[in-house]
A and B are shown apart, each in its own frame.
Chain A
């Protein structure tokens, strides 16, 4: 398929936690480019730096050094270049969390619609978009239910719907299909793929889920904070 603009450009990014004896180098001088329309997987053993890399791309963790560009805009170069990182996340980045983290006081539908609400879009638009996504993910019938009453898989799909609500161009997911059966995992992958094509988005997924490996355009292996050529 034809690849579009570069949406994620990470160059020379390193991240270490702690200093001296307790220092952990989670990422070492890593380069990665992801373009619109791509669906890629981040693989690697536990502790190899997958989550760390995802958090850096999502602008919730500052690298120790290196540069990050998102959607053509430099956002990190030794320091953050934008002050309103949250606005950036709201507009461009959709997160699907490992722990799904839905807001307990909102219904499934509201959990999805809140993203549009925060972006100051009309209430009906938010509701309609939430319905559409929940229906597609086959949790439409649970729209009025609060997260506490959802099963793990249902909650996970609501969280996916929330990540997609604002039509972000960069979607980041940490083990999104771990709680789903293979049919539903396939469904989620289909949706993400469709999104990547239609909205010229890119999708980076951390996964151990071998049943979906064949759905990716690229598999990126991390080992000790470096890219390992497979």
Chain B
């Protein structure tokens, strides 16, 4: 006869309600963990997408993500010829606001050279860029679909394919265009401004530059040697992929990460206190029944089992409900919510520990109760 289950079934409605409440709390905790993970992985998405080994940027900058970087477009040729480089591609990044379908889309425009590193990783729908102008591959979160057109700057681009999970560290979805289009977009002015400039007799002052050159190494090639070679050009600097990722986390998302991390800590503490309170109260309400059990001769083992099992069932249900809820709603968040099995397991461990600790409090009270209290009416 399992007393814990019988007691739960006796007050099932209340128990379920308690579990559900705890489940909601766990949903918030899991959401926070997911948002934290999402922030980190989103921030890295744009760095990881080109699958680069080395980033060549403007000397003295931490570009192209943490700081602006601008190097001559022909740097790519020089890098491609350096020792150990298998492939190199020039890239360019910019934020653009584009009116589309009655609202303004905030886009992260990535310019790359088709056939070279820097482009979208895997096309989820449609195809990659085929023409040299005015085609675009967009992230699904832009809401654009293949065949649609959107105006960027002076030109109208046709969406030919979709990718997933491409965005900048702020969460703005990415669109990929050819480097030539991206550079034009960067330097050109809209027609009205252009006319003003032409009337003043000015010619375009901006020279063609790119943000970075991405290099992929030949198998077994020495990354450090390449970095040293790059640094001989005084206007260039080189960063390995690892350094670039670290830089991004340390500079761009560090504050947001610590902000969420601290909030997560507070949330976990609050949950621990709430769980402890629920379990302790649950035991206190049963003290008279525990006294009766002692009176009829129940061993401590039976009483401890009653308390601990209920605590664990409560914790496990709360965790399970939380997990189901967050898995149901996580795709409705505007930014990615990423839950790793490891995080979910760690949370389970924390909840189990909290449940056991708080049932220890209950058990202490239960052990102290005098069986004679069962006799008083």
Chain A residues in the interface with B (C-beta under 8 A) = 51, 55, 60-61, 86-91, 93, 95, 97-99, 101, 103-106, 110, 113-115, 117-119, 123, 126, 146, 162, 174
The contact sample of 12 A-B pairs, CB cut-off 8 A, is A60-B370, A60-B375, A61-B372, A86-B371, A87-B297, A88-B297, A90-B299, A95-B295, A97-B375, A99-B377, A101-B292, A106-B6
Q: Is the CB of A98 within 8 A of B377?
A: yes
- A115–B299 Cα distance when bound, in Å, is 11
| B6 close to A110 (CB less than 8 A) | yes
Judge whether A105 and B1 touch: CB under 8 Å. no
**Given contacts A61-B372, A99-B375, A105 and B296 within 8 Å (CB-CB):** no
Q: How far is the CA of A117 from the CA of B372 in the complex (A)?
A: 22
**Which residues from chain B contact A110 at a C-beta distance below 8 Å?**
1, 6
Are A104 and B289 in contact, CB atoms less than 8 angstroms apart? yes
* A60 and B299 form a contact (CB under 8 A): no
Binds A, one of B7-15, B237-245, B336-344: B7-15
Cα distance A174–B295 when bound, in Å? 14
Q: Are B372 and A60 in contact (CB under 8 A)?
A: yes
Residue pair B296, A89 in contact (C-beta under 8 Å): yes
| CB of B298 within 8 Å of the partner chain | yes
Contacts of B374 on A, CB cut-off 8 Å?
A: 97, 101
Please tell me if the beta carbons of A89 and B295 are within 8 angstroms of each other in the complex.
yes
Kindly report which residue of chain B lies nearest to residue A86, judged by CB atoms: B297
Which chain B residues numbered 74 to 90 have a C-beta less than 8 Å away from chain A? none
The closest CB in chain B to the CB of A116 belongs to B1
Main secondary structure on B side of the interface with A? helix
Return chain B residues, CB-CB under 8 Å to A98.
375, 377
Q: Is B293 in contact with chain A by the CB < 8 A criterion? A: yes
Q: Is B302 an interface residue (CB 8 A)?
A: yes
A91 CA to B375 CA in the complex, in Å?
19
Given A89-B296, A118-B296, A118-B299, A105 and B7 contact (CB-CB distance below 8 Å): yes
Most buried by B among A55, A90, A105, A123: A105
Q: Are A87 and B299 in contact (CB under 8 A)?
A: yes
Contact between A55 and B297 (Cβ–Cβ < 8 Å)? no
Is A104 touching B298 in the complex (CB atoms < 8 A)? no
18 extra interchain contacts, Cβ-Cβ under 8 A, other than A89-B296, A105-B6, A174-B375? A60-B371, A60-B375, A86-B294, A86-B297, A86-B299, A86-B371, A89-B295, A93-B297, A97-B375, A101-B288, A101-B292, A101-B375, A105-B3, A106-B1, A106-B6, A114-B296, A117-B1, A118-B299
A86-B7 in contact given A55-B372, A98-B375 (Cβ < 8 Å): no
Residues of B at the A interface (CB closer than 8 Å) are: 1, 3, 6-7, 9-11, 288-289, 292-299, 302, 370-372, 374-377
Say yes or no: A104-B372 contact (C-beta < 8 A), given A87-B297, A91-B297, A123-B1.
Answer: no
Contact A105 B375 (CB under 8 A): no
Interchain CB contact under 8 A, B1 and A60: no
- How close is B363's CB to chain A, nearest CB, in angstroms? 16
Shortest beta-carbon distance from A45 to chain B in Å: 19
Instruction: Give chain A residues whose Cβ lies under 8 Å from the Cβ of B372.
Output: 55, 60-61
B297 touches which one: A89, A97, A99, A104 (CB < 8 A)?
A89
CB distance from A112 to the nearest CB of B (A): 10
* Least CB separation from B374: chain A residue: A101
Nearest chain B CB to A222 CB, angstrom units: 18
Whether B375 and A103, one on each chain, are in contact in the complex, defined by CB atoms closer than 8 angstroms, is: no
| Smallest CB separation, B306 vs chain A (Å) | 10
- In the assembled complex, the Cα of A114 lies from the Cα of B1 at a distance in Å of 7
* Contacting residue for B296 out of A99, A104, A126, A162, CB 8 A: A162
Given the complex of chains A and B, what is the CA–CA distance between A91 and B298 in angstroms? 11
Question: Which residues on the A side are within 8 Å of B3 (C-beta)?
Answer: 103, 105-106, 114
State in angstroms the CA–CA spacing of A106 and B8 once bound together. 11
Q: Inside 8 A of B302's CB, which chain A residues have their CB?
A: 118
4 pairs of A and B residues whose beta carbons are closest in the complex: A90-B297, A105-B10, A99-B377, A89-B297
Residues of A within 8 Å of B6, CB to CB, are 105-106, 110
Residues of chain A with a CB closer than 8 A to B292's CB: 101, 103
A103 near B289: Cβ-Cβ < 8 Å:
yes
> What B residues does A61 contact at CB under 8 A?
372
A119 to B289, CA, bound (A): 18
- Contacts A86-B294, A99-B377, A118-B297 given; does A113 touch B1 at CB 8 Å: yes
**How far is it, in angstroms, between the C-alpha of A89 and the C-alpha of B3 when the chains are bound?**
20
Tell me the complex Cα distance, A104–B3, Å: 11
A106 vs B5: C-alpha distance in the bound complex, in angstroms? 10
Q: Which residue of A lies closest to B300 (CB)?
A: A86
Cβ contact within 8 Å between A99 and B295: no
User: What chain B residues lie within 8 Å of A51 (beta carbons)?
Assistant: 375
Give the docked Cα–Cα distance between A174 and B3 (Å): 27
Least CB distance, A87 to chain B, in whole angstroms: 7
A123 to B258 Cα, complex, angstroms: 56
- For the complex, what is the distance from the CA of A61 to the CA of B295, rounded to whole Å? 11
The chain B residue sitting closest to A127, CB to CB, is B1
Min CB distance, A186 to chain B, in Å?
Answer: 25
| Cross-chain contact A146 with B375 (CB below 8 angstroms) | no
**Cβ–Cβ < 8 Å partners of B294 in chain A:** 86
CB-CB < 8 A to A101: which residues of B? 288, 292, 295, 374-375
